[in-house]
A and B are shown apart, each in its own frame.
Chain A
Amino acid sequence: MSWRLQRVPTVPAGAALIGRIGAIVLALACVAAVLALAGSAPARLGAEVIGSAFGSVAGLEDLGLLVTPLILTGIAVALTQRIGLWNIGGEGQFNAGALAATAVGLNLGGDEVWMLPLMALAGAAGGAAWILVPTLARALAGVSELITTLLLNFVAALLVAWLCTGAWRDPSGQALATTARIPTELPPLGDTLHWGFPASVAVAILAAGLLAYTRFGYEVRIAGANPGAALYAGIPVRARIVAVMLLSGAVAGLAGMIELTGTVHRLQGGISNNYGYLGIMVAVLARGSCLGVIAGAVLMAALLNAGIVLQTQGVTTSTVLAITGLILLFTAIGDELVHYRPVRRTGTVG
């Protein structure tokens, strides 16, 4: 009598969720073990981290500031996942959106009511413009969007850094590598939090509704799940790919605009703070579900927040990136392992 593992093609949602949680716990356990070996007390640090994020209104507001961009960059990735593609250029589209919003804000600046919508529009357009070339290359020539979207991240970062230290540098001379403060701001919601937070939650809900309750969403689902079936049903796959990718870029660009007008208020190098890359993680944790992205963003924000709290312990944003990588690796492995069931090898029957 022996056992063997058998792979089943589909996994019930409950088992998949357990796989996710297991992966996260295992990754954090690895981190705790490393911290313990390095002489820290993981339990105490953990309590400190959780207390700082969830223990006070101020902590929750700070968390909300991190959640806001992560929801949007997560949605950007989740949207493309639905049509079977990866937008890993969220970082660049975030920068491009912030840059376009800055251009509008610095040049037309004021507190008129139409400024914010105009800047949001500019941000979305900037993000969409940044993904335009990868989109057309993918839809028309079949060039993998993975690498094209990613490479443009570096270009966007260089572009922002160049403008902030050059043509757009703060003329007052106080700051070396940022633009002047942008007069238009998102209205506050509490002490530090702003209306960008509910706006990003609304975007997530809208995206979920778009996918679940429109013909467009249905066609995207079919095209993503089986392009052959889409061809068979007469769904214009290329047009849907273009629409989804541009939308994805626009949402990431909007994230840049919200971060700019809500939190940072000046364009500066590194404004994207890896949110674009972390959005991949958020979408993966959410299994491509747009509402799940909200939960994934909270988790990711808590992790980022831990990085900030633990700075005295030698933890940096890079450390958080490394931990994110570890969780992602375990999640990918866990996603595959939940497909396996132990089966007993029986003796000869009959």
Chain B
Amino acid sequence: MGVPRALPPGTAAEAAPGYPPGTPALVELQGITKAFPGVLANDAVDLTVMPGEIHALLGENGAGKSTLMNILTGIYQPDAGTIILDGYARPLPSPQAAIAAGIGMVHQHFKLVPAFTVAENIHLGWSQTPRHASASALEARTRALAERFNLAVRPEAVVGDLSAGEQQRVEILRVLARDARLLILDEPTAVLTPAEARELFSALRTFRASGNAVIFISHKLDEVVAIADRISVLRGGRKVATRSAAGADERSLAALMVGHDITLRRTRRRAPGTPVSAAPVLELDRVSARDDRGLPALREVTLALHGGEILGIAGVAGNGQRELSQVVTGMRPVAQGTVRIDGRPVARPDAAAFAAAGIGHIPEDRLRSGLAPDLSVTDNAVLRDYAGPRIGRGGLFRPWEAARLARTLAADAAVAVPDFGMPIRNLSGGNQQRLVARREIRVAGRVLVAAYPSRGLDVGAIDTLLSYLAELRDQGRAVLLFSEELEEILTLADRVAVLFAGRIMGVMPAAEADVETLGLMMGGRDGRA
């Protein structure tokens, strides 16, 4: 155990009314500071979590939430600051130490071994795993644990084959099995349908009832207000406020998050009388496609996208969005069915030909597929134009012309680039994304496919980006918008389609859609029934 502090942490009880004075906080962070190259991720952050509370941690992307939690789970070491558990200062030099102290985390990107079974994953690195660990013994133990914590998992299933929601249950079970008293959840609802999220919330309330605590990380204001007892807001690496959830209103929380008053989500309805093209510019006719492992991912999808409209695709991540976005941009071959551009069937998928036909693509994972991070800003800027006449005439590559185009794009995107020859990874994530967006809008003469365009951006940048999409629509081009946030789709799109298990569950005008119906459809139920 660590060194007992001279004074009981009275501040904790003060900050959390309803506790007798002198009650030690379950966790108290004091002055936590952590720097990464070019970023001060945490700057003297104080945070107190009492036993029996659900404490929400609210903040934009890059506000320092994940870093703070990685410090609390022993993965990162703070540059400065103290961690106090149950009134005792205790360094957490490793994940082992954090687990031993009763701190468990369910990461946003699950820390599971995809090739292992559920039972093997539950027993990883656990001192209570029997030394002779045969598959059957581990599965029997897992079954018992699943029963004890009332979490339905299949012990013998391979984790890589499970849905994101099932994987989350495995992670939670693993944490609970290790007798965690503090459960940290990082953006847990991103992979859940509304119904699954409600189940999770009731499980968390049960956990809280036995004197345990939860830290709930999110950027969704409504669910934070619904589930939390107290809410702490992080902005730019600093903690700017801790509020009681009772009586907190979303608008003021949003202002705290962003740092200035904002109008919550402007609607960008089309100007009345904006024309929609009669014939679809892009059409899918009973298209089926397989994922990277060869399993069916899209089943008989039929969609028609018209010029001058935004079609939103709603659904829980992992229901075929990735494959759909790749099929409509020529990156993935179709197993069955026809893709038509301007009424003409596409003979074979060719991403370069789709781009040349005026289909731009802001991909889901910018760094993994939209950019080559190690190459220069210039090389990345011309990914769509290198074969064009200016840069690529006669099979050559003209670096000076490439640099000129790169400067134009950077100016349009309002990104300051000190040196176009440096690797693009040296730019901030937001700037990389703005460059990709500009590059793709430039080629999107007919259609822009935007997969999760707001992911990883701060509120101001999201606003700019979404207004680009509305502008494109008003110019008569078509936009296919993938998003995991219903609100974003409902405020921006003209029509909404819901994707579940690779099928289109239904398409409806956004004006007629309501969250409840969409939620049902996202969970696989027929919304009309």
Contact = CB atoms under 8 A, between A and B. Distances in A.
Complex A–B touching at CB under 8 A: yes
Interface of A: 4, 6-10, 212-219, 221-222, 225-226, 228-229, 231-235, 341, 343, 345-350
B43 A349 contact: yes
Interface of B: 30-31, 33, 35-37, 43-44, 77, 79-81, 329-331, 350-355, 361, 363, 368-375, 379, 382-384, 386-387, 392, 395-399, 422-423, 425-426
Contact of A345 (B79, B329, B425): B79
8 contacts: A212-B399, A213-B399, A215-B387, A218-B379, A225-B374, A234-B331, A346-B33, A350-B44
Contacts of A217: 397
B426 A10 contact: yes
Contacts of A218: 379, 382, 386, 392, 397
A232 B80 contact: no
A77 to B, nearest CB: 19
Given A234-B330, A234-B351, A10 B425 contact: yes
User: Majority SS of interface residues in chain B?
Assistant: mixed
A4 B79 CA distance: 9
B356 to A, nearest CB: 9
Contact of A348 (B80, B329, B386): B80
A233 B80 contact: no
B375 A225 contact: yes
Contacts of A233: 351-352, 355, 383-384
Nearest to B35: A343
Contact of A225 (B350, B370, B372, B422): B372
Contact of A229 (B80, B352, B371): B371
B374 A234 contact: no
A234 B350 contact: yes
B355 A346 contact: no
Nearest to A235: B352
A222 B375 contact: yes
Contacts of B382: 218
Given A234-B355, A343-B35, A10 B423 contact: yes
B195 to A, nearest CB: 34
A346 B392 contact: no
A215 B370 contact: no
Contacts of A228: 368-369
A349 B383 contact: no
Contacts of A8: 37
Contacts of B369: 226, 228-229, 231-232
Given A226-B373, A232-B331, A213 B31 contact: no
Interface centre among B352, B372, B392 (most CB of A within 10 A): B372
A10 B375 CA distance: 11
Contacts of B350: 234
Nearest to A12: B422
Closest 10 CB pairs of A and B: A234-B352, A234-B351, A225-B372, A348-B31, A226-B372, A228-B369, A232-B369, A349-B44, A8-B37, A345-B79
Given A229-B383, A233-B352, A234-B350, A213 B396 contact: yes
